A = this chain, B = another copy of it.
């Protein structure tokens, strides 16, 4: 058994059996070893931003890490932006980063670079594999590190990969989280009253956390919010419909007006996404107290303060189907009206999606995966990963045009793996959010500035681009067209794309 075989065997034995890959020469023994450990599924992507974003989407839905296979420093570099999003989502990811053979590194060959600087940037766990007989132990440790909600980086020199004497290692048990002390719960219970807000993030945005929080709110009068960009939000009919904090600082200030106590459940104190001249960055109201509570304490807290109280859940209701030309107001109603049972929404609709939550609150139960770290180009890759994690569930990728182009080759992987993803491109022919931000930061900006935010010259034809990568595609300009195409896409196996002409919201 060589190092690569021991590595893959260890990953599989630790429950990691999907590897998103864009390999190069230094990874060829890893690739060859895929034939020796057939339980590992290798999924090829045409760019590393797709590899890492897919690993993020996979783990958000599978609740276990996928592996990635990346080619030296430049390959890792290409995948960093979506690892940034994964880090902000606390997603477990195991990166296998191929490196030059150890004696080759000192020669500064063309692809040599300081990989440690890049793994350090991910803020995760990192280890270089130094011998073939230890690579199994290293891999098991990486999976354990990832399972604590981090990015684990395993640097695999080519000679460690090809060297004999590999030994697979068993899974490393993950130590259970220490439960919060009873006294602390009693303390928090003491401030549960109107004027207190529970801000839900992390695992608290899943059904169990939301139901517990809703019971607490019903019993005590606290208000609930979900953090601005949750990693995975379960919602729809039968689940509490909890409002998210807004993207704009002004919205959040308004949402938190008069709040005296903020209980952070798997969330961090709210701050504005960007700084603006003369505006506040810290959004916790002055004089408001802040306490933190781990997500798994929420049900205990509910049992303490809301025994016998039922949660308030969204009734099953769908928006009326509108008609006419597509607008920012009506396309979300189409999605709300037609969202299939058990859907997974990968949401990178950005400005086009501001009205989506209201339109889908009473739709059948679904998951929403959002842009946790603000590094655009996440939506399509996350859809790839989610579809691989949950092959029997329909994945809906709501994707703005500008962001789509960062990782557009994800469409090819969707076609190659015949994934059940319906992508709706919200094509407003602009970096619309930047038009808004240009105004908000107080920059005047003339024609040359606005031209740099314009995507309409030339217009991007996503139908042709999708077809060029083997994805069936159509164009919608009206509600009727979108509705008909959306229903058909969701009903047919395999990937589809709808290029929806939605006007910019400003």
Complex interface residues of chain A between 364 and 380 (CB less than 8 A to chain B): 372-375, 377
Contact between A447 and B35, CB atoms less than 8 A apart: yes
Contact between B441 and A162, CB atoms less than 8 A apart: yes
Contact flags (1/0) for A373-412 with B, using CB distance below 8 Å? 1110100000000000000000000000010011011001
Contact between A452 and B275, CB atoms less than 8 A apart: no
A110: contacting residue among B373, B437, B449, CB under 8 A: B373
Give the distance to chain B from A359, nearest Cβ to Cβ, in Å: 25
Q: Is A242 an interface residue (CB 8 A)?
A: no
Chain B hits for A434, CB < 8 A: 23-25, 28, 31
Of the candidates A77, A273, A416, A465, the one having the most CB atoms from chain B within 10 angstroms of its own CB is A77
Chain B hits for A159, CB < 8 A: 275, 277
A84: contacting residue among B108, B113, B123, B409, CB under 8 A: B113
Give the distance to chain B from A159, nearest Cβ to Cβ, in Å: 7
Complex interface residues of chain A between 257 and 307 (CB less than 8 A to chain B): 268, 271-275, 277, 281-282
Contact flags (1/0) for A122-133 with B, using CB distance below 8 Å? 010000000000
Q: Is A486 an interface residue (CB 8 A)?
A: no
Contact between B162 and A26, CB atoms less than 8 A apart: no
- Size of the A side of the interface (Cβ < 8 Å), in residues, is 99
Contact between B107 and A282, CB atoms less than 8 A apart: yes
Contact between A449 and B35, CB atoms less than 8 A apart: yes
Q: Is A47 an interface residue (CB 8 A)?
A: yes
Q: How far is the CA of A470 from the CA of B465 in the complex (A)?
A: 11
Contact between B452 and A23, CB atoms less than 8 A apart: yes
Q: Is A464 an interface residue (CB 8 A)?
A: yes
Q: How far is the CA of A78 from the CA of B434 in the complex (A)?
A: 19
Contact between A31 and B77, CB atoms less than 8 A apart: no
Complex interface residues of chain A between 115 and 143 (CB less than 8 A to chain B): 117-118, 120-121, 123
Contact between B73 and A438, CB atoms less than 8 A apart: no
Give the distance to chain B from A402, nearest Cβ to Cβ, in Å: 7
A118: contacting residue among B121, B372, B446, CB under 8 A: B121
Q: Is A211 an interface residue (CB 8 A)?
A: no
A31: contacting residue among B47, B416, B438, CB under 8 A: B438
Q: At the interface with chain B, which of A58-66, A171-179, A453-461?
A: A453-461
Complex interface residues of chain A between 74 and 124 (CB less than 8 A to chain B): 74-75, 77-78, 80-81, 84, 88, 100-101, 103-104, 107-111, 113-114, 117-118, 120-121, 123
Contact flags (1/0) for A13-34 with B, using CB distance below 8 Å? 0000000010111101101101
Smallest CB gap from A102: residue in B: B275
Contact between B274 and A32, CB atoms less than 8 A apart: no
Contact between B73 and A121, CB atoms less than 8 A apart: yes
Chain B hits for A29, CB < 8 A: 441, 443
Q: At the interface with chain B, which of A38-46, A183-191, A327-335, A340-348?
A: A38-46
Give the distance to chain B from A112, nearest Cβ to Cβ, in Å: 9
Give the distance to chain B from A142, nearest Cβ to Cβ, in Å: 20
Q: How far is the CA of A416 from the CA of B103 in the complex (A)?
A: 47
Q: Is A225 an interface residue (CB 8 A)?
A: no
Smallest CB gap from A373: residue in B: B110
Contact between A35 and B275, CB atoms less than 8 A apart: no
Of the candidates A274, A408, A462, A469, the one having the most CB atoms from chain B within 10 angstroms of its own CB is A274
Q: How far is the CA of A468 from the CA of B464 in the complex (A)?
A: 5
Contact between B464 and A275, CB atoms less than 8 A apart: no
Smallest CB gap from A469: residue in B: B460
Chain B hits for A271, CB < 8 A: 104, 107-109
Smallest CB gap from A109: residue in B: B271
* Sample of 16 more A-B contacts, CB < 8 Å, known A32-B449, A77-B77, A108-B268: A23-B434, A24-B434, A25-B434, A31-B445, A31-B449, A46-B402, A47-B377, A73-B121, A77-B80, A78-B406, A84-B113, A88-B110, A104-B281, A109-B281, A415-B458, A465-B469
In the complex, 23 of the A-B residue pairs with CB atoms within 8 angstroms, ordered by the A residue number, are A25-B274, A26-B274, A28-B434, A31-B434, A44-B452, A46-B406, A74-B84, A104-B275, A107-B282, A108-B271, A109-B281, A110-B273, A110-B373, A111-B373, A111-B374, A111-B375, A118-B118, A159-B277, A162-B277, A162-B442, A162-B443, A458-B469, A461-B468
A→B interface (CB under 8 Å)? 21, 23-26, 28-29, 31-32, 34-35, 38, 42, 44, 46-47, 49, 73-75, 77-78, 80-81, 84, 88, 100-101, 103-104, 107-111, 113-114, 117-118, 120-121, 123, 158-159, 162, 229, 268, 271-275, 277, 281-282, 372-375, 377, 402, 405-406, 408-409, 412, 415-416, 433-434, 437-438, 441-449, 451-455, 457-465, 467-470
The 10 closest A-B pairs by CB, nearest first: A458-B470, A35-B446, A464-B468, A32-B443, A74-B375, A101-B275, A465-B468, A77-B80, A104-B275, A74-B81
